[in-house]
Amino acid sequence: MTEEFEPKIVGFLCNWCSYAGADLAGVSRIQYPPNLRIIRVMCSGRVDPAFILEAFISGADGVLIAGCHPGDCHYIAGNYKAQRRGILLKKLLEQFGVEPQRLRIEFVSASEGAKFAVVVKEMVEDIKKLGPSPLKARVEVEGLIHA
Amino acid sequence: MEAKQSVLIIGGGIAGIQASLDLASRGMKVYLVEKTPSIGGRMSQLDKTFPTMDCSMCILAPKMIECFRHPNITLLTYAEVQEVKGSAGNFRVKILKKPRFVDLEKCTGCGECAQHCPVEVPNEFDMGLGVRKAIYVPFPQAVPLKYTIDDENCVKCRLCQRMCKAGAINYDQPPETIDLNVGAIIVATGFELFDAQTRSEYGYGKYQNVLTSLEFERLLSASGPTGGHLLRLSDGRIPRRIAFIQCVGSRSLKGGVSYCSSACCVYATKEGVLIREHNPECEVYVFYNDLKVFGKGFQEFVNRAKNEWGVKYVRALPGEVVEDPKTGDLTIWYEDTTENVTKSMKADIVVLCPALVPRVTSKELAGILGLELDEFGFMKSRDPLFAPVDTNLPGIYICGYCQGPKDIPESVAQASGAAARAAEAIVAAGKEAH
Amino acid sequence: MEQNEKETPRIGVFICHCGINIGGIVNVLEVVEYAKTLPDVVYAEDNLYTCSSDGLNKIKEGIAKYNLNRVIVASCTPRTHEPLFRATCEEAGVNKYLFEMANIREHCSWAHMHEHERATEKAKDIVRMAVAKARLLQPQTEPEIDVTPSALVIGGGISGMTAALCLADQGFKVSLVEKEPELGGMLRNLNKLYPTMQDASKSLEHFIKAVKSNKSIDVFTSTAVKEVKGFIGNFKVTLQKGNSETPNLDIGTIVVATGATILEPVGMYGYGKHENVITQLQLERLLKEGQLKKPEKVVMIQCVGSREEKGRTYCSRVCCMTALKNAMLIRELYPETDVYLLYRDLQTYGHHYEHHHREAQEKGIRFIKYVLEKPPEVSAGKNGKLEVNVYHALLGEPIKIESDLVVLSTPLIQHEDAKELSKMLKVPLGSDGFFFEAHVKLRPIEFATDGIFVCGTAHSPKDTAESVSQAFGVASRAAIPMALKRLRTEAVTALVDEDLCSGCRICEAVCEYSAIEMQEKEGKLTSKVLEALCKGCGTCGASCPTGAITMRHFTDNQLIAQVRAAPQVAKEVAKHD
Amino acid sequence: MAYEPRIVAFLCNWCSYMGANLAGTSRISYPPNIRIIRVMCSGRVDPIFVISAFEAGADGVLVCGCHPGDCHYVSGNLKAEKRIETTRKLVKLLGLGPERLRLEWISTSEGGKFAEVVTDFTQKLRKIGPSPLKSEANPKAKASLNVQEVIKKAIAETNVRYCLECGKCSGSCPISRLNEAYSPRRTVEKFLIGLENKVLPTADLWTCLTCFTCTERCPSDVKYPYFIRACRRVAPVDVKEELCAHRGIPMALSRIMTNPKIKQERMDWLPDGAEISEKGDLLYFVGCAPYLDVYFEDFNLGLIKIPQSVVKILDKVGIKPVILRNEKCCGHDLLWTGDFENFEKLAKVNAADFKETGAKKIVTACPEGYRTFKEDYPKFLENFDFEVLHISELLSELIDKGELKFDTKIARKVVYHDPCRLGRHMGVYEPPRKVLASLPGTELVEMERNRQNALCCGVSSWLSCNRYSKGVQIDRLREAKATGADLLVTACHKCQIHWKCVTSEKLPVDPGEVTMEMRDLSVLVAEALKLA
């Protein structure tokens, strides 16, 4: 099929800031490409590395984790922990041959609808450049797809 | 709900919200009256809050929604207190509910009406910098998320009525009077800005690039008229230098109020830091007299602003601001009192920090309630030392800025204080009854 | 609660047009048809406004007609509408935690208004993800705990006494603990109180009498808190008087009102070297006892040991007003005495204090601003006088004052023993040494740990009026759980699989709410969640190496199911079935 | 004892002084009434020498120089001739009699002529009789005051004690901007911490323009100009005299007028046919126009047109104003230069004369007089209860009543300058604008800084006329010019004098940027009524 590659991105958004930010983007009718699939978590600290790997294995071309700005975390410091894990995880992904740019960690506050849209736009463009996730290819070849 | 167990709270800002939640969550019935179409008050207009730089709306919105959802809280927005009779334990209150011309039950807040409304008017929420329609919600996170037709500007084209699938528009909606019976009353009517135009030497209202701090707050806000892009309104240019002027009308024995508004030094610092975040190229100068850093973490915040963010402080209240009519650039004349030299500085935007003053309407409200005001129009405490939230009348309590200058945490703590006193009064009334 | 697992999910999906907000962009009917193809979906329909009362009835009818045990509404954001739909489900007998929301407005139709087809595809994906999670949803109950209607107030100063009295008058029992033999705290040292200039000791008498005579208040003087166990509503507190230990108190909520003390400026400006260099507090006492001999020239120095570049950086808030007050008292006492006030920035905030400043100006107090870089110098001068040299920053000139009394304004600082208390209560101290509240802006007088509150100068320097204000506030916050008697706690909490738990304590370390404690079970150390304290953020779950911890309502398999559903392409999935 | 005139004579060193010597060596006798002061050239004789001689009680003043053409300094004597002419006019206005001032050419060889001149002058003065100023004690003498007390009182009364040292005053002060050394804030602060001696003997005390810009803006309501005025009263006089422009002639004239015996001849300006009354409801206070018109005649400002216009306008609406033929100075300049004693004397005399006429209303075309009568007299005198109007107020009243009809089109773009005394001192901003706006054909434009923010014309009370004040003047003219207007209207004589003065000197800027046609409000109105 000749149609342009449209990456699938899985986004983990914390309930208190980033999810609200995404809401605001919508409310303010700020347009961004429809490639993101949002999963709401109470706190970005909840995002287990396993979820992220799972996303890639399931065929995601990119993963976004968005949490409150430092200091804003509804749970005091969950967002820091997410941040720290993210950095480690990028290294890990490289081991798997997944470009670290496919994982993006962002602070998006409830008032940053515009920023949220920008983040998604950028990510979609970046990943379009990278092409489909190598992991996805492998997964399909090795037939590890979850029924 | 019997009168003794219910409380009337006047003012839907952060203080009124906190008092409402405190009382409601302990099982008391609360009527929260707000004269605008949405609760949220001043705090909802702020971009960030000092000294933590919390996003204001992020931390406020959940509380607003909690108020809306709480089974013990009845929101009476777009409403005003008309008459109060009776005494502690048993007040009889008349509330005037102004017509929204929109059926609260039917309106789903989808916004289709506003999308098609042809009338654009300056948006109060953005301090008039942005525009809204004649049918509007004050801001996207408004609570309740219900639309209101502002009668003055509506041209009755009925487009909204045609667009509204829910059939919520009702041009014939009459004003409504509600009778309440409450055991206690809490007043939390907050503040407004001193009219910066009275200090004509700064050219506010005459020069487009001279703004008040609240206008500037909206200009900084991601949800503001420029979507958080820091631009000059006169020509859309990116500012290279922004100057803040403190004490515009405050600490003034003439042409203003004699007290210190208490928040300006630090919120100017906050806005200064935000500017540097937006655009590190843009210089920030804060012209002050005494830097008021008395609050928890304030001095540390100012130190960070100086050392980490490069916000510059000049001990001087400028004499005047003059615009170059060709460029719209502003020249500030001042004496640097620590360098002992009088000089001028060019700036792209000048932000005035006007005195924060009690609501003009508080006089009228005090009249209705029978409360005493002090010389500035603040609600008077029974004893400024040991009964700060009590008034001359038992059963009526005050909190937040309407009681005197304070910042958000002080307002929140005091709101809880007023709630405690209201609860006490109700417990006492209960005892008498038995 | 696990018994529902067997029950096969019967999912109903209600998709909202939201007028034309969704319907105008997303092909809702196509989504409805798609939803019907998804596993365990037994019913799907579209509504003009699902949130309208008519829409809500449709949900109830659906539940009854197709005996649905899972409900999905695909419309707007759960942040505003979830509670409404949850309530509807409960009314129709479906546990509210079996409701899931798919946000196809804010996150879809509004964000992709010009791409109808792809928006529709995305809407389908979002619905599919919701279904994936809904299939695994479990009903939850919000556990309730009892609350002992009795408060512990630590500290018998003006804050503690105010809080105690207010709590007592709200009908609660109060135990007031003061480590000194007398109630009163800092006020016992003070002379007059600004702004009203009333007599500190007179006001204090009145309060102490009120506290002692209040039947609901037990006063423990010369007493310290020895141990605190348990959690909100159910604290067990041990007090110690001398070396006799009192029996445990059952406490519902705790108020920390331990106050602050004043910095002793040893070695600063010749304090300790010249006996006519004293602190503002010593002057206060001299004035109180009428012991101040007539000085010719008094010099007061502000910010002594506060607002420093490093170290004690904070402003102590009360010193400027205290100095102004005492300067005026001296001028009233001895009108010929010149009083110089050497300040950095006058903290005459609020609507009373600037007025005092003006009064001081009328009384001829001489104000001289100095800067941190060039602090004043105090040295021995001629015939027993002191020579104060200060660089007058606003004249740019050095000024020399022959003074016979130098008064140092030193800041309020935290008590030494505060550290122990903070450990005992598991509540933090800030870098300034004062107790650190849960949220600087909106939770200023409570700790992150439920049921423990703070007020007065234990929280940060403040004057009497401000401490009293906070004390009343605390009296409300601390009363709420006691007034409710029973407390509903989070249903969305952490859940430990004790077999998998290796007792590594990582979760204990990462939890900000001290909601995890370790327990011995069959000789094995495992972590245990104190549900009353858990807020359900899930940080512990994410950091658990063995995957022993998961979250209710946001379980690993629920989230992973969503993750797996996310990247698939609707068309293909549709083909599968 | 019989009256013997005292003559003060200024003799030039090269001719007349030698002539006097010759008279002596040749034993030619002449009356001993003369006291000789040697000057290098008669051109050196400044009007203030003459006026001071009269103020000090001289009955006559004689100025002698070389014959035209013989001047050792080419033409000093001709300059003297012109200057003496002007001075004589002033002497005439003062009513001393022009013949009391005499100019003579006496060469080295004319000992005889010298003796004749002295003899003749002495006889003439014997006939005229003694100068009315003679008897008076030196009016310069001032009451001795307790400096500390005066300052303490001023600090309290002018709110200086409330200073927050924010520097808003200095940031507003037109002079501080140009003169780094000057700061109202620092001046105040020195007084507040007991360092007044660092100010009192210095020029700082005489630098303030008393323009009220700082007063207008001070958040602590510090009335700095009043404070300065009070301090000037107890400051050393010599510093002041050094800093007074025109060698202090204006103050000298004012002081002279405190003398009750003075009978001025100041009514020559009255237009033919204009009727004025002795008694009546409305008194028009002319002010210094006649003197200024003479003293600054070289500027050709036609200042005398101002009272003439006023009288004509009043006549047009049928008002025959009372005008005092021996009207005294209002005392404004004395008051603001700290000479309270002589100010009070003038105030008393004026108040008495006003009452005489039975007037209820006092109208003036001079902001200083206006301010002084409305603001200061009531504070210094008991029951000074007149309604005081500035001409612009009266005019706009008349326009409201429709009593003024303008038949001439004044097709000009006009910019109005707010004189400090009229504007910030008294809050009269709108009446002048209203008058201008109602002139047919005029387009009224505003300067960037107008009304309460208007910039001062640069000098007040003839004090501290220096490069800084010139800077202010140029700045203001630039601002006026920048509006694109072609006529600069003010309502104060002195604004015009100061601007004319600065533009007639060598300018630091291109004259095109600042030179502008100027007009007084009343004169322009008269023109619009075809009365000019």
pLDDT band at D437 (very low <50, low <70, confident <90, very high): very high
Instruction: Give the DSSP per-residue string, B77-131.
Output: ESEEEEEEEEETTEEEEEEEE---SB-TTT-----HHHHH---EEE-GGGTTSSE
User: Residue C427 to residues C156, C255, C314, C419, C489: CA-CA distances in angstroms?
Assistant: 20, 12, 21, 10, 20
Reading the block at residue D223, the tokens are 């009335």
pLDDT band at D141 (very low <50, low <70, confident <90, very high): low
Q: For A8, which of C448, C559, C566 is closest by C-beta distance?
A: C566
* Residue contact B55–A111, C-beta within 8 A: yes
ipTM field: 0.88
Stretches in chain C below the pLDDT threshold 70: 1-6, 569-577
Q: For C394, which of B111, B338, B419 is closest by C-beta distance?
A: B338
Q: Which candidate in D162, D163, D168 is best for mutational testing of the B interface (most B CBs within 10 A)?
A: D168
**DSSP code of residue C383:** G
CB-based contact A59:C568 (threshold 8 Å): yes
| Predicted local confidence at residue C577, as pLDDT | 40
Q: How far is D162 from chain C (nearest CA, A)?
A: 6
pLDDT band at A145 (very low <50, low <70, confident <90, very high): very low
| Predicted local confidence at residue B430, as pLDDT | 82
Q: Which of residues 281-340 of B touch D (CB under 8 A)?
A: 289-290, 315-320, 322-323, 325, 333-337, 340
Give which of B24, C366, B140, B88 is closest to A30, Cα–Cα: B140
Give which of D470, D377, D365 is closest to D428, Cα–Cα: D365
Reading the block at residue D311, the tokens are 């009288």
Asked whether the CA dihedral D338, D341, D342, D343 is positive or negative, the reply is positive
Q: Which chain B positions have a beta carbon within 8 Å of A110's beta carbon?
A: 55, 57-58, 61, 141
| Predicted local confidence at residue D364, as pLDDT | 98
Helix D76-93 vs helix D47-55: angle between axes, to the nearest 10 degrees? 40
Q: What's the pLDDT tens digit per position in D411-428?
A: 999 999 999 999 999 999
| Predicted local confidence at residue C431, as pLDDT | 86
| Half-sphere exposure of residue D136: CA atoms within 13 angstroms, side-chain side | 23
Give which of D367, D485, D463, D494 is closest to D422, Cα–Cα: D367
CB-based contact D106:D64 (threshold 8 Å): yes
Reading the block at residue B110, the tokens are 């989808």
CB-based contact D203:D211 (threshold 8 Å): no
Reading the block at residue D386, the tokens are 């007149």
Are chains C and B in touch, 3+ Cβ pairs below 8 Å?
yes
* Residue contact C394–D165, C-beta within 8 A: yes
Helix D249-257 vs helix D340-357: angle between axes, to the nearest 10 degrees? 50
| Half-sphere exposure of residue C44: CA atoms within 13 angstroms, side-chain side | 21
| Predicted local confidence at residue C571, as pLDDT | 55
Q: Which residue of C has its CA nearest to A31?
A: C111
| Predicted local confidence at residue D138, as pLDDT | 59
Q: Rounded to 5 degrees, what are φ and ψ at C380?
A: -65, 130
Contact of B370 with chain C, judged by CB distance below 8 Å, is answered with no
CB-based contact D64:D74 (threshold 8 Å): no
For residues C345 and C320, give the distance between their C-alpha atoms in angstroms, rounded to a whole number: 9
| Predicted local confidence at residue D142, as pLDDT | 62
| Predicted local confidence at residue B298, as pLDDT | 96
Stretch D148-176: mean pLDDT: 97
Q: How many residues does chain C have?
A: 577
The pairs formed by C570-577 with CB atoms below 8 angstroms and a separation of 24 or more are: C570/C34, C570/C121, C570/C124, C570/C125, C570/C128, C573/C38, C573/C128, C574/C34, C574/C37, C577/C37, C577/C39
Q: Assign residue B308 a region (left: φ > 0; alpha: ψ between -120 and 50; beta: otherwise).
A: alpha
For residues D427 and D392, give the distance between their C-alpha atoms in angstroms, rounded to a whole number: 13
Check whether D149 has a pLDDT greater than 90.
yes
| Predicted local confidence at residue B374, as pLDDT | 95
pLDDT band at A84 (very low <50, low <70, confident <90, very high): confident
* Residue contact D220–B320, C-beta within 8 A: no
Which residue, chain included where needed, has tokens 């002081």? D255
Asked whether the CA dihedral D189, D194, D195, D200 is positive or negative, the reply is positive
In chain C, count of helices (H) and strands (E)? 16, 31
Q: How far is B205 from chain C (nearest CA, A)?
A: 27
Q: 3-class DSSP state for residue C415? A: coil
| Predicted local confidence at residue D137, as pLDDT | 55
Q: For B55, which of A28, A69, A114 is closest by C-beta distance?
A: A69
Q: CB neighbours of C29 closer than 8 A, spacing ≥ 6? A: C46
Q: For B253, which of D162, D176, D216 is closest by C-beta distance?
A: D162
Q: For C80, which of B26, B145, B413 is closest by C-beta distance?
A: B145
Check whether A1 has a pLDDT greater than 70.
no
Which residue, chain included where needed, has tokens 């300094």? D73
Contact of B124 with chain C, judged by CB distance below 8 Å, is answered with no
Q: Which candidate in C197, C355, C480 is best for mutational testing of the B interface (most B CBs within 10 A)?
A: C480
Q: Which residue of A has its CA nearest to B49?
A: A72
| Predicted local confidence at residue A29, as pLDDT | 81
Asked whether the CA dihedral D125, D126, D127, D133 is positive or negative, the reply is positive
CB-based contact C575:A69 (threshold 8 Å): no
Q: Which candidate in C361, C440, C462 is best for mutational testing of the B interface (most B CBs within 10 A)?
A: C440
pLDDT band at A74 (very low <50, low <70, confident <90, very high): low
Q: Rounded to 5 degrees, what are φ and ψ at B99?
A: -70, 130
CB-based contact D50:D102 (threshold 8 Å): no
Give which of C449, C446, C468 is closest to C457, Cα–Cα: C468
Q: 3-class DSSP state for residue B376? A: coil
Q: What's the pLDDT tens digit per position in D304-341?
A: 999 999 999 999 999 999 999 999 999 999 999 999 99
| Predicted local confidence at residue A2, as pLDDT | 47
Using a 10 angstrom Cβ sphere, with 0-12 exposed, 13-18 middle and 19 or more buried, the burial of residue B329 is: buried
Task: Determine the Cα angle at B96 with ends B91 and B34, to 5°.
Answer: 85
Are chains B and A in touch, 3+ Cβ pairs below 8 Å?
yes
CB-based contact C462:C470 (threshold 8 Å): yes
The pLDDT profile of chain B, 434 residues, written as one tens digit per residue, is: 455 689 999 999 999 999 999 999 999 999 999 999 999 999 999 998 998 777 788 778 878 988 998 999 999 999 999 999 999 999 999 999 999 999 998 998 888 999 999 999 999 999 999 999 999 999 988 999 999 999 999 999 999 999 999 999 999 999 999 999 999 999 999 999 999 999 999 999 999 999 999 999 999 987 788 877 899 999 999 999 999 999 999 999 999 999 999 999 999 999 999 999 889 999 999 999 999 999 999 999 999 999 999 999 999 999 999 999 999 999 999 999 999 999 999 999 999 999 999 999 999 999 999 999 999 999 999 999 999 999 999 999 999 999 999 999 999 999 999 999 999 999 988 877 66
Q: Greater confidence, D129 or C245?
A: D129
Q: Which residue of A has its CA nearest to C536?
A: A42
| Predicted local confidence at residue C572, as pLDDT | 53
Which residue, chain included where needed, has tokens 């007089």? D369
Check whether A140 has a pLDDT greater than 70.
no
| Predicted local confidence at residue B284, as pLDDT | 98
CB-based contact C179:C222 (threshold 8 Å): yes
Are chains C and D in touch, 3+ Cβ pairs below 8 Å?
yes
Q: CB neighbours of A1 closer than 8 A, spacing ≥ 6? A: none
CB-based contact D162:D221 (threshold 8 Å): yes
Mean pLDDT of chain D: 94
Contact of B140 with chain D, judged by CB distance below 8 Å, is answered with no
Stretch D292-303: mean pLDDT: 95
Check whether D363 has a pLDDT greater than 70.
yes
Q: Which candidate in A17, A79, A109 is best for mutational testing of the B interface (most B CBs within 10 A)?
A: A109
Give which of A59, A54, A63 is closest to A139, Cα–Cα: A59
Helix D430-437 vs helix D391-400: angle between axes, to the nearest 10 degrees? 50
CB-based contact A104:A22 (threshold 8 Å): no
Check whether A136 has a pLDDT greater than 90.
no
The kind and range of the H/E element at C12 are strand C11-16
Q: Which residue of B has its CA nearest to D221?
A: B254
Q: 3-class DSSP state for residue C452? A: strand
Subunits with 3+ C-beta pairs closer than 8 A to D: B, C
Q: How far is B325 from chain C (nearest CA, A)?
A: 34
* Partners of residue D105 on adjacent β-strands: D65
Reading the block at residue D20, the tokens are 């006097």
Stretch D208-218: mean pLDDT: 97
For residues B190 and B357, give the distance between their C-alpha atoms in angstroms, rounded to a whole number: 9
Q: How far is C417 from chain B (nearest CA, A)?
A: 21
